Amino acid sequence: MRTRLYIVRGFTVIEMLIALGIIALLFKLAVPTFRTWLQNTQIRNTAHSIADGMNAARGEAITRNAQVQIQLTSQGDGTQPGWQIALVSAPTVSIQQWSSAEGASSTQIVQAGGGILTFNSLGRIVAPNPIDASAPLLQVDVTSSNDAGDLALRNLRVVVGNGGMARMCDPALGQPDPRAC
């Protein structure tokens, strides 16, 4: 009877070091791209949430046949950006709210106008705001708070049109691109 010899062969130390070096190089190349992608995703989440909140406030005003306001909850006080929807007649009673701690913690917002947008029962913008007589919130710029001059970041803007509908746009793009502001 014949016996077979099995030779078990493993990796040499040099082969392992070369493999680890290649993995480290790929990791070093991938991390900055992943970080930029993550920041862009958080910017998009914040802008999308603000636009959805404005449209939800408009819908609540039409549904309830009453004035409804949306107020940005971060106005330079260092807290996380967010918003709150409430009836004008009872501003302390929240209908709906959102905070950027829910998936967009590294974003910041810059608003044009007051921090409050009020809709009447027809879904139109009430100007000036009945709460503080300030100009209505018609534009919000969303950026990353971790922006270190990264050219790949895509800052977004939320604008409110004449009919009261909010939409996201990209201020870096020009016309005739439909994503431009």
* pLDDT tens, position by position, 16-64: 999 999 999 998 888 888 888 888 888 889 889 999 999 999 999 999 9
Inter-CA distances, 119 with 27, 151, 159, Å: 50, 37, 15
Percent of the chain exceeding pLDDT 70 equals 88
Peptide bond into 128 cis (omega under 30): yes
| CATH fourth-level superfamily of 13-169 | minor pseudopilin epsh domain (3.55.40.10)
Q: What is the pLDDT at residue 162? A: 81
| Beta bridge pairs of residue 72 | 83
Q: What is the pLDDT at residue 74? A: 66
Q: Which range, 23-32, 69-78, 172-181, has the best average confidence (pLDDT)?
A: 23-32
Domain ranges of the chain: 13-169
pTM reported for the whole predicted model? 0.77
